[in-house]
Amino acid sequence: METARECGGAPVFAANLERVSEIEALFAAVDRHFGRLDGLVNNAARFTRLDPLDMTEADWDFVHNVNLKATFFCCREAGRRMKAQGYGRIVNISSLGGLRPWAGHAHYCASKAGVIMLTQSLAKSFGPGVTVNSVAPGVIPFGESIAGLDGIIRSTPAARTGTGEEIADAVTYFLSASDFLTGQVLAVDGGLSLR
């Protein structure tokens, strides 16, 4: 609700993204309100740390149901509308964890690697006119302390963590880019993926 206020009273549409029926209802509500859909940013995600040897099916599903399954079905619903109108921009938020393996995050890394391959597959399926790209953030603290991140910061060529505004800039770029830019993954990570 705070974001809606910051955006001049933008309408809010809510859904439990673990349920495909609610995703479908969400897009139907957007249709009724706006009449068309030009852009989609899949940003919802879950992040947990678990030893893979202790992981349960419920732990796996908790992350994958939102990070990968919901991303696909939101893309499906947006893609149907965008293909019908001949124009659209989809941006999926993946992660540096989808490009590099992290111990203790096998389920998260697998889900975000899936988002990257999904992005590329759908870019081939939805073109022309509809683009699908991905932004892969590095370390972006949101209100958390950066204590304990000294080693990562030293390993980052930019020598700092990133900001939400820097991720938003990358998303905005993809939302406004030509349809000649599709199926791409942009790591916004200060160069951390180079190490």
In angstroms, what CA-CA distances link 78 with 60, 133, 146? 26, 14, 36
Q: Which two tokens stand for residue 141?
A: 């603290």
Q: Residues 143, 184, 16, 11: is their CA dihedral positive or negative? A: positive
**Residue 25 carries which DSSP code?**
H
**Whether residue 173 lies in the annotated active site:** no
String of DSSP letters for 101-170 = --TT-HHHHHHHHHHHHHHHHHHHHHTTTEEEEEEEE-S--SSS--TT-HHHHHHSTTSS---HHHHHHH
Q: Which of 72, 73, 108, 174 is catalytic?
A: 108
The whole-angstrom separation of Cα 83 and Cα 59 is: 35
Q: Which residues are catalytic?
A: 108
